Amino acid sequence: MLDKLKELRMLNAFAKRQSMGMQRKLMFYWVSMILVIFMAVILLFFIAGVFSRDDEQLHEVMELHLKNGQDHLGNHLENLTAEGLNLSKELSREIEGILMREGVSLEEVNDNSELLLRLQEVMYPLISTTLQTGNCNGAYAILNATINTKLDGAEHSRSGIHLRYSNLSTSSLINQTVVYFRGIPDIARQKDLELHNRWNLEFDIDQIPGCQELMNTPLERPVECYFWSRRINLKDTWESAMLLCVPIVGSDGTVYGVCGVEISALYFQFSYPTVETQFGSAVTVLAPVQDNRLLLSDGLTGSVNGTYLDGLETLLIHQGRYYNEYDTGAEQYIGLHQNLLISKGEVEDDIWVVAIMIPQNSYTAYTVDKQKTWIMIALMLFLVLLSLAFFLTRKFVRPITDSLKRFQQEETLEPGVFSGISEVDELAEFLNARARSQRLEQGELPPNIAELFDQFIERKCLLTEAERNILRYYIDGYEIADIPELAFISMSTVRKHNRKIYEKLGVSSRDELMLYIDLIRRCGRLQELF
Residue 233 CA, distance from chain mean position: 43
If one looks up domain 104-269 in CATH, what number appears? 3.30.450
If one looks up domain 443-529 in CATH, what number appears? 1.10.10.10
Domain segments of the chain as ranges: 104-269, 271-366, 443-529
Q: Would you state the pLDDT for residue 7?
A: 46
Residues of the chain with pLDDT under 50: 1-9, 11-12, 14-20, 171, 411-412
What is the spatial distance between Cα 47 and Cα 63, in angstroms, rounded to a whole number? 24
Q: Would you state the pLDDT for residue 43?
A: 67
Q: What is the pTM of this model?
A: 0.64
Q: Give the DSSP letter string of 402-469.
A: HHHHHHHHSSSPPTT---S-HHHHHHHHHHHHHHHHHHHHTT---HHHHHHHHHHHHHGGGS-HHHHH
Angstrom distances, CA of residue 187 to CA of 97, 112, 162, 510, 524: 20, 16, 12, 151, 143
Give exposure, 200-233, as e/b (b: 16+ Cβ within 10 Å): eebbebeebebbbebbeeebeebbebbbbbbbbe
Q: Would you state the pLDDT for residue 217?
A: 81
From 97, 107, 117, select the one nearest 202 (Cα to Cα).
Answer: 117
Q: Do domains 104-269 and 443-529 have the same CATH topology?
A: no
Per-residue pLDDT tens over the stretch 80-113 = 999 999 999 999 999 999 999 999 999 999 999 9
Question: Rounded to 5 degrees, what angle do the CA atoms 106, 109, 111 make?
Answer: 145
Q: H or E segment at 208?
A: none
Q: Would you state the pLDDT for residue 356?
A: 93
Three-class secondary structure of residue 193 per DSSP: coil
**For the CA atoms of the chain, what is the radius of gyration?**
56
Residue 46 CA, distance from chain mean position: 10
Distant-in-sequence, close-in-space partners of 395: CB < 8 Å, separation ≥ 6:
none
Q: Would you state the pLDDT for residue 452?
A: 72
Going by their DSSP bridges, the two strands 177-182 and 194-200 should be labelled as: parallel
Task: Read off φ and ψ for residue 313, nearest 5 degrees.
Answer: -80, 160
β-bridge partners, 300:
286
Task: Read off φ and ψ for residue 166, nearest 5 degrees.
Answer: -110, 160
What is the spatial distance between Cα 391 and Cα 306, in angstroms, rounded to a whole number? 51
What is the spatial distance between Cα 70 and Cα 82, in angstroms, rounded to a whole number? 18
From 162, 235, 149, select the one nearest 195 (Cα to Cα).
Answer: 162
Q: Would you state the pLDDT for residue 248?
A: 94
Per-residue pLDDT tens over the stretch 359-409 = 988 888 777 766 667 677 777 877 777 777 777 666 666 666 666 666 555
What is the spatial distance between Cα 104 and Cα 8, in angstroms, rounded to a whole number? 133
Task: Read off φ and ψ for residue 437, nearest 5 degrees.
Answer: -65, -40
Q: H or E segment at 324?
A: strand 324-327
Contact between 360 and 333 (Cβ < 8 Å)? yes
Contact between 157 and 130 (Cβ < 8 Å)? no
